[in-house]
Amino acid sequence: MSLLEINNATLKFGGVVAVNDLSFSVEEGEVYAIVGPNGAGKSTAFNLISRFYEPFAGTFRFDGNNLLDLDADQVADLGIARTFQNIELFDHATVLQNLLVGRHRHRKTTLLEEMFFMPRVRREEERHRAAVEEVIDFLDLQPYRNKMIAGLPYGVRKVVELGRALASEPRLLLLDEPASGLSVEETQDMRWWIDDIRKQMGITVLMVEHDMGLVSGVSDRVLALADGAKLAEGTPAEVQADPAVIEAYLGAGAA
Amino acid sequence: MEICQKARKPGVTGQGTVLKERGEDNLEVLQLFVSGLANGCVYGLIALGFVLIYKATEAVNFAQGDFMMVGAFVSLGLTNAGYMDLPFWIAAPLTITIMAVFGYLIDLFVLRHLFGQSQTAVVILTIAMGFVLRFVAGLIWGHEPQTLESPLALGDLHIGGVVLGMADVAIIVVTFLMTWFLYQFFQRTKLGLAMQAASQNQMAAYFMGIPVKRVQGLIWGLSGATAAVAGILFASKGAIDPNAGLLGIKAFAAAVIGGFGSLPGALAGGLIVGVIEPFAARYLAAGYSQIAPYALLLAVLVFRPHGLFSQVRVKKV
Amino acid sequence: MRIHFKTTYNDDIRLFPDRWTFMVYAALLVLAFALPYLIGEFYLGEVTNVLIWAIAGLGLMLLTGQTGQASLGHAAFLAIGCYANTILIEQGVPFIVAFPLAGIITGLVGVLIAIPVLRLHGIYLAIATIALSVLADDIIVLTEPWSGGVSGKFPEMITIFGLEIERWSMPSRFYYLVLVVTIICTLFYRNLLRSPLGRAFAAVRDSEVSATAMGVHIARTKGKAFGLSCMITGWAGALMGYYAGTFNNETFSLVISITLLMMIVIGGLGTIHGAFFGAVVVAFLPQGLSILKDGVFGSGVAIPGLETGVFGVILILFILFEPMGIYGRWLKIRIWFELFPFARKDMFRRQKSYLKTERLR
Ligand SMILES: Nc1ncnc2c1ncn2[C@@H]1O[C@H](COP(=O)(O)OP(=O)(O)OP(=O)(O)O)[C@@H](O)[C@H]1O
Ligand SMILES: [Mg+2]
């Protein structure tokens, strides 16, 4: 059974069909990429998985759980973490605090314990810190640990957002355009990280990306979307060679 | 803590429409309704000011009521015999111009520097502005209630058994015209559409070449002008003093009931609040009647959180 | 291999980041406890007033500064705390039980009110809370049999295990009571900040979508913030009742709500220090102004609205030029001295930013 299984998902915004009868599934341990021209419905597909949007139709299953039974905040508890296309960090908090919010789903202490900062809270905090510190090491974020997000450059913010998702120790990681706006070197780093995330941490990755170099470098399978519907699916090479895909990209480029 | 003067409860405004006790019940109801309508229009006009600014900048001007108060005093200062003694029909457009410029300047010197800060900052800033305006108006025009020597205030209109103050009729007519005009402006003109775009995504609008800051200034000018109209009409109807702007709280209720993003909604909300008041005062026990508009406000917020007249969609990520 | 880091975590998790800070606050605490022996009764009363406002400020700060929800109705919760405390004591509940209970009742009422109200975003919440503040007055009048209505109430003398405390006749005892409550509230606040809930508050404040994606339940978190905020505010309200000696429907007006909000902005949003700095301004501004006014115009000249007017101007200047409040300014001055002479002028320049909207389109 696949880790994530989406069948016949459909969502409309007014007259716009953002996602149109879309089906795909992501296997445990793979990197699965979604590509497509602007407005193809890639982010919308992510938002459906995150339960931000209510689909008109379709089934969404993650590891045997029906996602449609859950609220948006319960999705994280299953072990699904994500980043956002336009970076949604907590701007007036430090990098450390941002990553610690990633630990939210692992919290065990109650309001009363926290008000009195009981020993258990301290122990838990140390545990969270150890986990977060590992992420900081992994992503080379030490220089920024105690800096406010509001003052950080774009590239670092993207990494922090990735770090926050990793801090939650997810099983499935959704990355919405992890390399957009990054320099060539930063994109290269991102590529190593995605590789390591899969190989060392054993986390399944579902990502949306425009940079075909990155996509063919890291992903096992690629799904091409246009106007909310599936155009092609297969290995990066297969999808890039698909006439329908070439047509869609050229069409989008010409328009 | 001595800093607080007691907030004056803005009561039912003006008594332009005289209630006749001898009339039958139907007439009385009609009379209450019309007087409520006129009050409601004033709330509606202030609410229009809120909504204008909210639509275009996503900020809320908590000083809009005080803008109206300043507009009223400016028109009074220009018109009344004790002050400049200009003819009303010259003073009125002059007031509107002055207030438009005033709105623009407030944006230029104050709000523009808040560009990009949180809504809370704007809320607090405009509340503070209200304090300052009230204080300054008190210094200039004093704290005694004064009435505008307005040609609108003269005479009553008798229709059947119902007595309508001229001022009330003027208010109702002008308010509907204003709402229609502003609505058309936002729906039809390029500038109006640009203003909406500017609020929905400042960064995108900026990159699309919409001069976000200038548009914001124009909107503040427009809402200043709206406040001037409200002020002139309000002062024609009854006495004003520097605390008259606290009426703005009811206009909030109106704007919320109407749904904060909708101009016709603001007017409708104003009318609802205006009409409820005299009926509540007439038919409910003393302690309960002042509560009515706020209770309605809370009820709307609980059951239709985004107002009666607006539809809700989700933030795009 | 992580042993080496462990001490570092503790540095962050501890109440005070380093020894020096600890010493400073310890000294401050000693000073606070010695105060009744150092200054006269009048000034002790003023300091008590500052502390009470600071508690109320902490309450609102938790909601507005930490969770990003502006409330313009917190005077209503001051009122609930004050009336609940007084009524409980009149029913024979001892102070030591009634006072904590008053805060808890206020917190519960806050949560009840929060459930519908907190679904609202930004300004809607502000407006709903204004309505609350306006309604509180009328409701107190309507519930005359319990609340005393317009004629008001006089809180009874406090007794804690036989120890009597009264604001006028024994100001230093009352001061100590307020001081202890202040310390407890500050500790609660600080503890929350360094635990998951405090971070969830900040998450909700800065980005609701990504907070949700990280598993934070927005409404529940806001509800907790509202409840805790109201609890602390309720305690402040109870103390205000004792400080004023009498209160009625007009004591906790909308103006108090607004003053409270402005106070925390002037002090510095989102910081504990901010609540205290703001409280100093609010408590001493009226005196300062009246001294100034008497000096300029001679005594006896009344200028209505002067205090609120000046307060408004100060606030506008702060929002425009120092949005981080007095605490922000203080930090900058400190850094400037620490770096002297290497501080650069553009070091504190604000980032260019655009409106971030949570508005549903
Ligand atoms: N909240 C929303 N309200 C209305 N329309 C929306 C919303 N979110 C997305 N859409 C529309 O749905 C379509 C798909 O949008 P989506 O953001 O999923 O595209 P995308 O593939 O992520 O594009 P990009 O590469 O630009 O990120 C677009 O036409 C978009 O305008
Ligand atoms: Mg997208």
Please state the ipTM of this predicted complex: 0.92
Confidence of residue B24 (pLDDT cuts 50, 70, 90): low
Best CA proximity match to C229, nearest among C50, C79, C103, C118:
C103
Does any CB of chain A come closer than 8 Å to the CB of residue C350? no
The reply to whether omega before C341 is within 30° of 0 (cis) is: yes
Q: Which residue has its alpha carbon closest to ligand 1 atom 8?
A: B316
Whether pLDDT at C52 is above 50: yes
Q: State the pLDDT at residue C10.
A: 67
Question: Do residues A65 and A99 both lie within one domain?
Answer: no
At C345, is the pLDDT very low, low, confident or very high (cuts 50, 70, 90)?
A: low
Is A211 found in the same domain as A190? yes
| CB-count burial class (<10 Å; 0-12, 13-18, 19+) for C244 | middle
Q: How far apart are CA B315 and CA C13, in angstroms?
A: 35
Place of tokens 């320099």: A183
B2-9+24-303: CATH, from 1.10.3470, 1.10.260, 3.40.1800, 3.30.460: 1.10.3470
Name the band, by pLDDT with cuts 50, 70 and 90, for residue B10: very low
B35-48 average pLDDT score: 90
Q: What's phi and psi for A90, nearest 5 deg?
A: -95, 95
Q: Taking CB atoms and an 8 Å cutoff, what residues of chain B touch A85?
A: 317
- Going by pLDDT thresholds of 50, 70 and 90, the confidence category of residue B116 is low
- In a shared domain, residues A177 and A249: yes
Within a domain: residue A230? Answer: yes
Helices (runs of H) and strands (runs of E) counted in chain C? 15, 2
Lowest mean per-residue pLDDT among A17-31, A165-179, C128-142: C128-142
What does the pLDDT read at residue B13? 40
Q: What integer is the mean pLDDT of C206-216?
A: 93
Q: Which two tokens mark A141?
A: 């974020």
User: Does residue A255 surpass a pLDDT of 90?
Assistant: no
Range of A140's domain? 90-169
The more confidently predicted of residues C15 and C259 is: C259
Give, in order, the Cα–Cα distances in Å from B62 to each of A113, B138, C318: 40, 19, 18
Residue A224 token pair: 């091409």
Dihedral sign, CA of B55, B91, B270, C126?
Answer: positive
Residue B30: predicted pLDDT: 82
Tell me the average pLDDT of chain A. 92
Do A238 and A113 reside in the same domain of the chain? no
Specify whether A109 is located in the same domain as A232. Answer: no
Alpha-carbon span C308 to B253, nearest angstrom: 24
Distance to chain B for C64, nearest Cα, Å: 9
**Quick one: A180 and A64 in the same domain?**
yes
d(CA A64, CA A101): 27
Of B204 and C171, the structure prediction assigns the larger pLDDT to: C171
| Residues A70 and A184 both lie in one domain | yes
- Ligand 1 centroid to A44 CA: how many Å? 6
| Residue position matching structure tokens 């989102």 | C270
**Gap between the Cα atoms of A70 and A72, Å rounded:** 7
Least confident of A74-88, A182-196, B100-114, B178-192: B178-192
CA distance C308 to B5: 8
Ligand nearest to the CA of A53: 1
What pLDDT is attached to residue B149?
84
Paired with A86 in beta bridges are none
Burial A16-49 (b: 16+ CB within 10 A, else e): ebbbbebebebeeebbbbbbbbeebbbbbbbbbb
pLDDT at A69: 95
Same domain for A50 and A107: no
- In which band, very low, low, confident or very high, does the pLDDT at B5 lie, cut at 50, 70 and 90? very low
- Does B200 contact C357 at a Cβ distance shorter than 8 Å? yes
A99 in any annotated domain? yes
Atom of ligand 1 nearest to the CA of A208: 22
Comparison of pLDDT for B300 and B135, the residue scoring more = B135
Sign of CA dihedral C10, C16, C18, C23: negative
Q: Count residue pairs from B and C with Cβ separation < 8 A.
A: 180
Of B31 and C119, the one with more pLDDT: B31
| A236 confidence band (pLDDT: 50, 70, 90) | very high
User: What pLDDT is recorded for position C361?
Assistant: 30
If one compares C201 and C13, the residue with the highest pLDDT of the two is C201
pLDDT for B19: 44
Asked whether residue A85 is assigned to any structural domain, the reply reads: no
Tell me: pLDDT of A60 over 90: yes
Angle at C329 between CA C324 and CA C334, to 5 degrees: 130
Chain C residue whose CA is closest to A122 = C13
Q: What's the residue count for chain A?
A: 255
Most confident range (mean pLDDT) of A198-212, B103-117, B259-273 is A198-212
Atom of ligand 1 nearest to the CA of A37: 25
Closest ligand, as measured to the CA of A37: 1
- Residue recorded with tokens 């009122």: C79
Residue A216's CATH number: 3.40.50.300
Average pLDDT over residues A81-101: 93
> CA C283 to CA C288: how far, in whole Å?
10
Highest average pLDDT, of A169-173, A249-253, B57-61, B128-132, comes from A169-173
Does A128 map to a domain? yes
With CB atoms and an 8 Å threshold, state whether B317 touches A53.
no
Per-residue pLDDT at B153: 66
Whole-number CA gyration radius for chain C? 21
Q: Strands A172-176, A204-208: parallel, antiparallel or unpaired by DSSP?
A: parallel
Listed in sequence order, the residues at least 6 apart from B209 whose beta carbon sits closer than 8 Å to its beta carbon are none
Between β-strands A16-26 and A31-35, what pairing exists: parallel, antiparallel or unpaired? unpaired
Average per-residue pLDDT in chain C? 86
Report which DSSP code applies to B240: B
**Share above pLDDT 90 across residues of chain C, in percent, rounded to a whole number:** 47
Mean predicted lDDT score pLDDT of chain B: 80
Residues A32 and A65 in one domain: yes
At residue B30, the 3 state secondary structure works out as helix
Quick: pLDDT tens for B138-186. 999 988 898 888 777 667 777 777 777 787 888 889 999 988 988 888 8
A226: left (phi over 0), alpha (psi -120 to 50) or beta: beta
Does C352 reach chain A within 8 Å, measured CB to CB?
no
Given a cut of 60, is residue C351 above it in pLDDT?
no
CB spacing of C213 vs A76 below 8 angstroms: yes
Q: What is the pLDDT of residue A130?
A: 92
Give the total number of structural domains in chain A: 2
pLDDT for B161 equals 72
- State the pLDDT at residue B310: 57
Instruction: Decide: helix, strand or coil at residue A121.
Output: helix
Q: Note the helical H segments in C207-271.
A: 208-213, 218-244, 254-267
- Do A232 and A192 share a domain, yes or no? yes
DSSP, residue by residue, C129-186: HHHHHHHHHHHHHHTHHHH-GGG-B-PPPEEETTEEE-TTT-HHHHHHHHHHHHHHHH
Q: Is A43 in the pocket of ligand 1 (CB under 6 A)?
A: yes
Q: How far is C11 from chain B (nearest CA, A)?
A: 32
Pull the structure tokens for residue B215. 């548009």
Q: Say what the alpha-carbon torsion angle C257, C259, C265, C271 is, to the nearest 10 degrees.
A: -70
- Neighbour tally for C158: CB within 10 Å: 23
pLDDT-derived band at C354, boundaries 50, 70, 90 = very low
Confidence of residue B57 (pLDDT cuts 50, 70, 90): confident
Residue C66 is classified by DSSP as I
Q: How far apart are the first and last CA of chain A?
A: 40
Nearest-10 Cα torsion for A148, A162, A70, A4: 180
In angstroms, rounded to a whole number, what is the distance separating the alpha carbons of residues B40 and B283?
A: 18
CB C69 within 8 A of CB C222: yes
B interface mutation test: which of C69, C287, C314, C355 has the most B CBs within 10 A?
C355
A13 and A72 both lie in a single domain: yes
**Phi, psi angle pair for B252, to nearest 5°:** -60, -50
pLDDT digits (tens, 9 = 90+) for C295-336: 777 776 777 778 888 889 998 998 888 878 888 888 878 777
Report the pLDDT value the prediction gives residue B9, as an integer from 0 to 100.
37
> Is A180 in the same domain as A230?
yes
Strands B156-159 and B162-165: antiparallel
Mean of pLDDT values over A90-97? 92
pLDDT score at C355: 41
The mean pLDDT value for C141-159 works out to: 86
Predicted pLDDT of residue B203: 58
* List of domains in chain C: 1-38 (no CATH), 39-339 (1.10.3470)
CB spacing of B1 vs C283 below 8 angstroms = yes
List CB contacts (< 8 A) between B313 and chain A: 13
Ligand 1 centroid vs C289 CA: distance in angstroms?
56
* pLDDT higher than threshold 50 for residue A113: yes
- Shortest-distance ligand to the CA of residue A44: 1
Q: pTM score > 0.80 for this model?
A: yes
